[in-house]
Amino acid sequence: MENFDDNEIGKLLRLKRYEQPPPGYFENFLHEFHRRQRDELLRQPIWSVLWQRLSGSLFRLNLPSLTSMPAAAAAVLVCALVITLKVHQAPEGPNVAVADGNVPASHQSVLEQLSAEPVVDHFTLSSPISSRSLGPDLSRQLNERAYTHRTSSPPRYVLDRLPVSYEPSFNF
C-alpha cells in the first residue's frame, strides 16, 4: 500500500475545516468579548482610563497632521526675528528733513527768498502750486539746486510734521 502523497495529505487536512465549535459559539463570542472588555476597564486605574480617553480625543483631532505645527511656528518666529534684526541693523534711509527745523544752509537762502517775496498769484484749486510763477531768479536757483542734489547726494524729502493718518478726524 502506498503512502499518503502530498495531494492526499492536503485533502485530509482540508477536512479539518469541518471541525467547528458548538452551534451559537460565534453569536455568543461578541457578547463575551464585550463582557471581557468591561471587566478589563473596571480593573484599570482611573488615571489609565482618563489617559486612554484623552489620547483617543487627540487622535480624533488628527494629531499626526498637527505635528508640523511647532515646526511652522518656529519658522515664523525665526523669520520674524531675522526681519527685526534687519530693520535694526539697516543703514539709515534717505535723509529726511522736517519742515520747521534743521533746514540745511544750502536751502536757507531759498526759503528766505520765498518768505521775503510774496507770491503774486493766488493759489487756487484750478491753479496748482506747480504752475505758480516764482520769478525767474528763484526758479533758476531752485532748478540748479535740484539738479545739483540729484547728481551729488541722495535725494532729500521733506515731510509734513504730522502724517495724514495722524490728523484728527473730522467731527460732525
Partner 1 sequence: MDQPRTDEDQPLVARAQSGDAAAFDELVIKYSPRLYGLIYNMTSNHEDTNDMLQDVFAKAYRAIKGFRGKSSFYTWIHTIAVNMTLNFLKKRGRRYHLSLDDVDASIQHDKEFIELTSTSSPVREADLTELQRRLNEAMMKLSDEHRAVVTMFHIQGMPHAEISKILGVSEGTVRSRLFYANRQLQNYLDEFRKNPVG
Burial 131-156 (b: 16+ CB within 10 A, else e): eeebeeeeeeeeeeeeeeeeeeeeee
DSSP sequence for 101-152 = S---HHHHHHHHHHHHS--SSPPBTTB-GGG----HHHHHHHHHHHHHHHHH
Residue closer to partner 1 (CB basis): 36 or 140: 36
Residue closer to partner 1 (CB basis): 55 or 153: 55
Shortest gap between Cβ of 46 and partner 1 (angstroms)?
Answer: 18
Q: Does residue 157 contact residue 164 with C-beta atoms inside 8 Å?
A: no
Shortest gap between Cβ of 5 and partner 1 (angstroms)?
Answer: 8
Shortest gap between Cβ of 2 and partner 1 (angstroms)?
Answer: 8
Q: Which residues bind partner 1 (CB under 8 A)?
A: 1, 3-6, 8-22, 26, 29-30, 32-33, 36-37, 40, 55-56, 59-60
Q: Does residue 114 contact residue 89 with C-beta atoms inside 8 Å?
A: no
Residue closer to partner 1 (CB basis): 53 or 150: 53
Shortest gap between Cβ of 50 and partner 1 (angstroms)?
Answer: 15
Residue closer to partner 1 (CB basis): 17 or 122: 17
